[in-house]
Structure 1
Amino acid sequence: MSNTGTWMQRIAQDWLVHTLTGSAAAVGITLALQFLPILLFGLYGGVLADRLDKRKLLLFTQSAMGLTGLLLAALTLTGNVNVYHVYALAFVLGLVTVVDNPTRQTFVSDIVGPDLLRNAVSLNSANFQSARIVGPAVAGVLISAVGSGWAFLFNGLSFLAPIAGLLLMRTGELNPARRAPRGKGQLREGLRYVGSRPELLWPVVLVGFIGTFGFNFPIWLVAFTDRIFLAEAGTYGLLNTLMAIGSLSGALLAARRGGSRMRFMVAAAGGFGALLMIAAAAPVFWVFALLMVPVGLIGMTFVISANTSLQMASDPAMRGRVISLFMMVFVGGTPIGGPLLGWLTDTFGPRLGILAGGLVCAAAALAVALILARIGGLRLKVDLRRGHRHLDFVPRAPAVGEVPREAARELPDETPEEAAARPRREENQHLSRTP
């Protein structure tokens, strides 16, 4: 119920800003202000999630988010709203989200325990995407009929549902992780923890690029609706609904997967960038609209794969800080990508704006794939023969004088000169034993 209200407010807020200003860049500024606090303070939210009672934290954050919706509704329904009110409330909502996001994400593990974590994260995303199907469609009709204010009012009241759910929980049946004790340097400790583990670091880097340059759909869909297809809020809501159908499908498919390999996550990121570039060239509305389904599916598959991989690979006592870093780079990059891509969209047109985002996403996926392959001792193999896999990563043959990784673990420490001379020494030993 609350997720439906949240999506209604997102659609109404984007359309209200566009109505007040007529600018895609203004929509980008709104997004930037909403996510700027996550970029600046996101890691502190993770420290609080690791240190404090998650259920009590969520009661506070959900109440505060409901109040921002009610205040925006009051301003809009009385006719006193202007774009600066929206900017200010978006910034306040971002401050609350700094604590809410990592707390809510890691609270899933407290509810179901580690064995069901992957499925629970996927089904939680499916819940969110189900609301994304209903919310934009209802918002589009509501905005066209009576205005944006009623969508804001519904969202503010909808937070009564999660608040009631949190209050009714039987706390004795939760599986709370061990809380991190209060101490100095916990922020730096979290950064060092991620930086020292490639299985955490490179997914976070890739998520940062995809979140900053790929998930700017409020800018692109508003601009395509208004400037390319010359349509109204109902069409904007329809495009969001079609994307949500794809996202829901991606969430349900992710729930069925038994594992999440790193190469699958990187491939999803590359496919997402490619689909954005294809959408940029869509000649007519129905082609663009149908493309929103696979865009949503692949995008959600990537996000869930990255989220669950990070949660399962991190220590429970560090999980809040790891997920806060994940959320910080995923949505905290919007203050950079939002205004930049909004300016590109306004100046050069919506098609070039979404094309630029897709190019950056595809390039980032390729770069991370090559880095991970090098770390893992792999190389890219191209095979154009029929019946063979055309592109694949295979073990890299060691260079002359280089020790294979498995053998290197068994060798004692030696100087570079001794390592270089080892192949000749081993050959001589073999010849001396040959009759």
Structure 2
Amino acid sequence: MNALQLYTPVPGTRRVPRNRLMLSILGGATMRVGKRDGLLSALRHRDLPVLLSAFAISASGSWAYNVGLSVYVYDQTKSATWAGAVTVGRFVPSMLFGAYGGVLAERFERIGFMVRLDLICTTLMAGLTVLAAFDGPAWAAIAIAAVNSTITMSYQPAVAATMPQLVPARDLAAANTLQNTVENLAVIAGPAIGALLLLSGSVSFAFGVNAASFLVSALLVIRIKVRSKPVDVTEDGAAGPVRQMLVGVRAIVSTTAARLLVAYSVLASFVYGVDTVQFLLISRERLGTGSDGYGYLLAGLGVGGIAAAALVNRISAWPRLGTAILAGMSLYCLPTLLFLVVDVPVGAFGIEILRGAGTLVVDVLAITALQRSMPPDKLARVFGAFFTLVLLAITLGALVTPQVLNHTSLNTTLWLAGLGIPAAAALGWPLLRRMDNANVARLAVLEPRIVVLQRAAILAEAPRAVLERLAAGAAELEVAAGQAVVTQGEEADAFYVIEQGGMTVSSHGEDGIERSLPPLVPGDYFG
């Protein structure tokens, strides 16, 4: 049962039933229940805005750097294969060592660990700035980017595992949506910054801005007050590196819902890998905007994610997440077919807005489900495995797309990404429907308990997700007439809501005289 204590009785109170049925929630933790929460409710928790600010600054610099790196390599080589190599070169090392990044994020205190990673990335980006200033070779720029990406692979699981410490469970979906919104804002602002810097003719300055953003991020992250407790990932020396990494994989595959949600998030990441190559060709061959149009298309994805943020927060509470996942995949992929006929930048921007909304649905639902369902002492390793799978998918997409383009055409890749991927996603519908039906059946069992909890004034305005978690951890008790439930001087260890019958209440004051208090009726609570 969930450990939960919502209310502590006043000393000297005695409650005795005069009928028989009530709902109890056992435990000793505390929870605040207020009015229904919206997307911005998560910002009430002090450390989350600090983390989001650091993330916004660092991500904006990184997106400016991403655009600069892709354009720098492409302009030097004039090759779609080399453009794909930028993505592959950054992600393959991360894919190989990323799972161990989750182990490191578990092994060390996470906030201090993230600060050290920011400082290392500052140094690497400073080196890339010097390289670009002296017109260094493309392969060297890709090599530095690969090392930087490998370092940041420990950062992502550290952030994801820290999030449940910054906000309560009811605000997790909102917090993740806000993080994705910040990232989408960075997708818009970063490429715009990168484009302005490219127009000025200074790619090295874009890399320098990224170096500065990592430094500012470190100065902000160090202000976060929450601290994690390091985990002995070696299990007293019995677990080697491989076994340590496999902990996260085993945790994901242990539940059907986690497997499905992660699988669809990985599939969406494959499509993004395809996009990293296709965007360059769409910009050059269809839109006539040259290499600069790459950032323009990425900005469209970001705008779509921002527009859908509030909706995604609401979707996270739906009982049929499988339906939402499949709809998100379809919205991400199907509009790609419009590039077969659209050849104006404004139309292309609108297409990417639609696609950005779709991919946000898939990503937020997968990450939030993992944060809510995985054990806290394994969470960083779970996200180490998750982000490694994501990078593997992006790498495969970026690696396969140039080969398909070399043997066919851009139209072929548009058909495959726009129709082939949704068709593959639809094959999982029976499994998604089974997951949805199981969740609906579980909620049907909980519904009578939820109704009882809603009668209590303290829970009347509680969000649906909170009521579901309380109901799942509740137990029904039948109490005989005259039996004491709470006795004066006892430690409060449960919260009770009366479902049927009533309770008489009496109290012994300081003078030792027993006095009767107003009785309790169905819908009243105590404990």
Instruction: Confirm or deny a common fold (TM above 0.5).
Output: yes
1:372-402 per-position Cα deviation (integer Å, ceiling 9, x unaligned): 3356779xxxxxxxxxxxxxxxxxxxxxxxx
Work out whether residues 332 and 359 of structure 2, in 8 Å CA contact, stay in contact via their aligned partners in 1.
yes
Structure 1 residues 360 and 177, CA, compared in 2 at 3 Å: closer, same or farther? farther
Equivalent in 355, 361, 367 of residue 307 of structure 1: 367
Give the counterpart letter for 1:232 in structure 2.
G
* Structure 2 Cα separation of the partners of residues 330 and 150 of structure 1: 30
Alignment of 1:12-411 (within 5 A): 12-79=68-135, 81-169=136-224, 171=225, 174=226, 176=228, 179-183=231-235, 184=239, 185-257=243-315, 259=317, 261-374=321-434
- CA change 1:253–1:64 in 2 (3 A) is farther
Deviation at 1:105, TM superposition (A): 2.0
What is the SS of the residue equivalent to 1:168?
Answer: coil
TM-score by length of 2: 0.66
State the 1:102 CA deviation.
0.8
Measured at CA, do residues 126 and 180 of structure 1 come closer, stay the same or move farther in structure 2, by a change above 3 Å?
A: farther
* Percent of aligned pairs sharing the same letter: 20
The secondary structure found in structure 2 opposite 1:146 is: coil
Q: Which amino acid aligns with 2:210?
A: N
Q: Cα deviations across residues 72-111 of structure 1 (Å, max 9, x unaligned)?
A: 11111122x1111122112112221221121122222222
Q: For 2:292 and 2:228, how far apart are their aligned partners in 1?
A: 43
Contact 1:206 1:364 in 2 (8 A): no
Change (3 A) 1:372 1:293: closer
Partner SS state of residue 38, structure 1? helix
- Between the aligned partners of 1:293 and 1:205, the Cα distance in structure 2 is 23
Q: Structure 1 counterpart of 2:170, which letter? A: D
- Distance (Å, rounded) in 2 between the aligned partners of 1:190 and 1:234: 39
**Structure with the greater relative contact order (CA < 8 A, sep ≥ 6): 1 or 2?**
2
TM-superposed deviation, 1:283: 4.6
> Once the 2 structures are TM-superposed, how far is the Cα of residue 121 of structure 1 from its aligned partner?
1.1
Q: Counterpart amino acid of 1:179? A: V
In the other structure, the counterpart of 2:469 is: none
Note if contact 1:70-1:152 (Cα within 8 Å) is conserved in structure 2. yes
User: What's the TM-score once normalised by structure 1's chain length?
Assistant: 0.80
Q: Residues of 2 paired with 1:269 and 1:137: CA distance?
A: 27
Question: Which SS does the other structure have where 2:317 is aligned?
Answer: coil
Partner residue, 2:484: none
Q: Cα gap change, 1:252/1:148 in structure 2, threshold over 3 Å: closer, same or farther?
A: farther
Find runs of 4+ consecutive structure 1 residues off by over 6 angstroms: 375-378
Contact 2:322 2:435 in 1 (8 A): no
C-alpha contact (below 8 Å) 2:329/2:362 kept by paired residues: yes
Amino acid at match of 1:227: E
Mark the runs of 5 or more structure 2 residues left unpaired by the alignment. 1-56, 439-527
**CA-CA distance at 1:289 after TM superposition:** 2.5
Rounded Cα–Cα distance in structure 1 between residues aligned with 2:377 and 2:176: 18
Contact 2:112-2:222 within 8 A present in 1 as well: no
Question: In structure 1, what is the Cα distance between the partners aligned to 2:421 and 2:121?
Answer: 31
Q: Distance in 2 between matches of 1:118 and 1:373?
A: 22
Is the 8 Å Cα contact of residues 115 and 218 (structure 2) preserved in structure 1?
Answer: yes
Q: Is the 8 A contact 2:132 2:203 kept in 1?
A: yes
* Structure 1 contact 36–94 (Cα < 8 Å) conserved: no
Alignment coverage as a number of residue pairs: 374
How has the CA–CA distance of structure 1 residues 195 and 239 changed in structure 2, closer, same or farther, with 3 Å as cutoff?
closer
- Paired with 2:436 and 2:166, the residues of 1 have a C-alpha distance of 35
> What stretches of structure 1 of length at least 5 have no aligned partner?
379-435
Does the aligned pair in 2 maintain the 1:214–1:361 contact within 8 Å? no
Mapped to 1, the partners of 2:179 and 2:425 lie a distance apart of: 26
Amino acid at match of 2:157: P
Q: Residue type matched to 1:115 in 2?
A: R
Residues 346 and 288 (structure 1 numbering): CA distance in 2 closer, same or farther, change over 3 Å? farther
Distance 1:250 1:38 in 2: 30
1:10 is matched with which residue? 66
* CA offset digits 1:258-291 (Å, max 9, x no partner): 5152321222113222122333443544322221
Report which stretch shifted further, 8-17 or 220-229: 220-229
The structure with more radius of gyration: 2
Find the aligned partners of 1:345 and 1:104 in 2 and give their Cα distance: 37
Going by fraction, where is helix more abundant, 1 or 2? 1
